[in-house]
Structure 1
Amino acid sequence: MQCEVDRNLEKCNYTYPGCPRKGKCCECIAYHRRNGELPACYFTEEQEKTWDRSIEYFVKVNSKR
């Protein structure tokens, strides 16, 4: 399957400018899985700015209290 990088970039909210995986969703997800993390697209714009990709952070900010 061919990655549609230009189309993916339209929706990618990742703010780090030098990432070689930006817009390459398959590579991005695989990279973050290996590191026990989630990619930026799982987070809101405000949450993404923390650069905390941990699953713990995701659960914390998305848990209903």
Structure 2
Amino acid sequence: MECKREQNLKRCNCTYDPCPKKGICCECLKYHLSMRQLPACCFPPEAERTYDRSFEHFARLVNEGRV
């Protein structure tokens, strides 16, 4: 399967600019899941900017009705 990096970048909300995985969703997801995290695209903008991508943070946001 061919990566659609340019197309993915149009909807990527990751604010960590030096990330080499930006737009390469399969690599991003593999990286974050290996660290018990979710990628930026799972979070609303204000939560993404905290760089807390943990499962626990995501669960708190779900409980608060913010995701």
Specify the TM-score bucket, using the shorter chain as the normaliser: over 0.9
TM-score by length of 2: 0.92
- Please, which runs of 5 or more residues in structure 2 have no aligned partner? none
- Superposition TM-score, scaled by structure 1 size: 0.95
| Matching residue of 1:48 | 48
User: What is the aligned-residue RMSD (CA, Å)?
Assistant: 1.1
Query: In structure 1, the residue corresponding to 2:26 is in which secondary structure?
Result: helix
Trace 1:25-64 onto structure 2 (pairs within 5 A): 25-64=25-64
CA distance in 2, matches of 1:30, 1:7: 19
**In the TM superposition, what is the alpha-carbon distance from 1:55 to its structure 2 partner?**
0.2
Runs (5+) with no aligned partner, structure 1: none
| CA distance in structure 2 between the aligned counterparts of 1:33 and 1:49, rounded to whole angstroms | 19
Q: Equivalent residue for 1:18?
A: 18
Q: How many residues align?
A: 65
After superposing on structure 2, the runs of 4+ consecutive aligned residues of structure 1 that deviate more than 4 Å are: none
| Other structure's SS at 1:62 match | helix
Between the two proteins, what is the percent identity of the paired residues? 48
> Matches of 2:30 and 2:38 in 1, distance apart?
9
- TM superposition shift of 1:63: 1.0
